[in-house]
Structure 1
Amino acid sequence: MRPDIVTFWHGPLDRLRRTCLSSQVAAGHNVTVYSFEPLAGLPDGVGNAGAEAVLPHAFSERLRPPQPDGSWRDWTTLQFSDFFRMRLMAQRAGLWLDADVLLLRPVEIDPAKPFFAWERPRQLGNSVLYLPPDDPIVMAFEALMQQDELTPDWLALRHRLVFALRKLRGKSNRVADIRVAIFGPAALTALAARSGELGYALPKQSFYAVHAEPRLFFDPSDFSALIGDPDVTGLHVSPKGRGNQPPVPGSLYAWAVERFGDSSSGEQARQPV
């Protein structure tokens, strides 16, 4: 089946994300972005839904206290989204794609089976994720969210030691402070291994061909083989602060803006490759 696509966003959308969301619509998917405030500048065809009903804003304070003005600190948005996508899985909302996943062709899934891909050797990515609502990974996150401390029972030994030392020294009693991705790809990989689901993982090339090398997306290059490869369904992009920079002529980014459009310029999304 061709699933609905869902994601979460906090703050203003940049040009890169608008282009990627347009590509998801152009691939023929219904796309919804969840947020706590109405999002301006969403591309045509992208819906906006309230995030509070999925995971309350107050949950963020269990990750770390907000700034004095109430805004979120450093890692909060990324870690909140790790939990948010699992709540969407529990609610049968659809396929999660990060807002910076450029789709080159439609995604088809079996709703009874997990859908994810290798991001790097020995680590799954969670930028592209579907899990059945009764999947052991979803249930593990649901159980974790019932805890006061949010301490995963799948935490790696090295992270348990780091956490114990931080508590002993009075630095922190929150697992969320250990590292930014503590509830993200490492958690997904550990839980997929525990539940015997690593065999469902797609090859890295399916979605993460440029993830570790953003120059392949942002710098001029011959990208014809990449976009013509039927095994490359989409590209998760790591913008590294370049999301609002003008695309460089001859780059894959410039091609994407030309093909899929950008709501800031009034262009319309075109058909998928």
Structure 2
Amino acid sequence: MLPEIKTLWIGGDLSRLERVCLASFIANGHKVTLYTYGDVGNIPKGVDIDDANKILDESKVFQYGKATGSGKGSYAGFANYFRYKMLYENENTYWVDTDVICLKPFPKIQEIIFGEESPEFINNAIIGTEKKYNHLFLELCEYCENPFVIQKWDSWKIVLKKIYGRYYGGSHTDYIPWGLTGPKALTGFVKKLDLDSYTNDSRTFYPIPSSDWEAIFYPDNTELLERDLKDSFGLHLWNEHLRRNGIEKNRVFDKDSLYEKLISRFELERY
């Protein structure tokens, strides 16, 4: 049986981007569950809806504050906490961000699975767990509950921000630096617990790096990019770049772009 795919959406209706991403997992045979805290429209046919309060109470939801600069207003910090808690409580399950396109059925999970986005960092947009109660996710949850605790992998800049947030910001979520509980934390705890062997190389889930995000949406060397995806199970679209650059997620891009070609290939608009 294929692993189940689970994710979270906070806010209004899904945009075209989230819709086609969720549809791509349905198209590849996965069961997909979307957690929400309220009514959400534009959900693809075949996606199951579940109450996000079963994982974390809605009272815990927060948005990044001024400490993150252009990241202000994002729910990414809360979503980090949510995914670790969900993974701790589930089995045979992948968490995927809503800006991930499934290229082929995701692999069977052997204990846990994740992938590096670069030689330095393991990304947390795609994480799988075989069984409940994995200690990695417990440690990550505890860190999310106390994000101002200094970790040995923190840079001196992050240490200063944590000290400031703790003593002058009262440890309020407004003072949590961008990405604190995301890839940096996952990478740090994986190394701390000696779990590096579960890390897949970037070709598995992150074949196009964040720095090249525009190549996904604009028709430049599309054929070359498609060949680069042959060993990949998923493609992260790096939606945060779209948000920060004011690019509408409902937009239909050039038909020769990789993004639009994948939508056509899997007939994702029909879901």
TM surpasses 0.5: yes
Aligned residue among 233, 248, 257 for 2:254: 248
Is residue 45 of structure 1 aligned with residue 46 of structure 2?
A: yes
Change (3 A) 1:39 1:175: closer
Higher RCO structure (Cα 8 Å, ≥6 apart): 1
State the alpha-carbon separation in 1 of the partners of residues 209 and 36 from structure 2. Answer: 25
The AA in structure 1 aligned to 2:161 is V
1:68 paired residue number: none
* TM-score of the superposed pair, with normalisation by structure 1: 0.83
Contact in 1 for aligned 2:219/2:258 (Cα 8 Å): yes
Change over 3 Å in CA distance of 1:39–1:165 after alignment to 2: closer
Q: How does 1:42-121 map to 2 (within 5 A)?
A: 42-60=43-61, 74-75=72-73, 77-92=75-90, 94-110=93-109, 112-121=110-119
Q: Please give the secondary structure, in 1, of the residue aligned with 2:34.
A: strand
Unaligned runs of 5+ in 2: 66-70
CA RMSD of aligned residues (A): 2.5
Q: Contact (CA 8 Å) 2:165, 2:172: kept in 1 or not?
A: no
CA contact (8 A) 1:124 1:185 kept: yes
SS class of match (1:52) = helix
- What is the SS of the residue equivalent to 2:256? coil
> Corresponding residue for 2:270?
268
Whether the aligned pair in 2 keeps the contact of 1:31 and 1:47 (CA below 8 Å) is yes
What is the alpha-carbon distance in structure 1 between the residues aligned to residue 83 and residue 235 of structure 2? 19
- 8 Å CA contact 1:7–1:98 kept in 2: the answer is yes
Give, in angstroms, the shift of residue 50 of structure 1.
1.0
Deviation at 1:182, TM superposition (A): 0.6
After superposition, the C-alpha distances for 1:108-143 in whole angstroms (9 at most, x for unaligned) are 222x42110001221000000013433222121343
Question: Amino acid of the residue matched to residue 137 of structure 1?
Answer: L
- Of residues 244, 257, 264, the one that matches 2:263 is 257
* Within-5 A mapping of 1:149-228: 149-152=146-149, 154=151, 156-158=154-156, 159-167=158-166, 170-171=168-169, 173-174=171-172, 177-212=175-210, 213-228=212-227
Deviates further, 242-251 or 50-59: 242-251
Gapped runs of 5+ residues in structure 1? 66-72
Distance in 2, Cα, partners of 1:211 & 1:2:
27
Query: What secondary structure sits across from 2:98 in the alignment?
Result: coil
Task: Measure how far apart 1:153 and its partner are.
Answer: 5.6
Q: CA deviation at 1:205?
A: 1.5
User: How much has 1:173 moved relative to structure 2?
Assistant: 2.8
1:160 counterpart SS class: helix
Residue identity matched to 1:254: E
- How far apart in 1 are the matches of 2:64 and 2:208? 31
How many residues align? The count is: 253
Q: Equivalent residue of 2:20, what SS? A: helix
Distance 1:118 1:17 in 2: 22
Task: Tell me the equivalent position of 1:70.
Answer: none
Contact 2:148 2:171 in 1 (8 A): no
TM-score of the aligned structures, taking structure 2 as reference length: 0.83
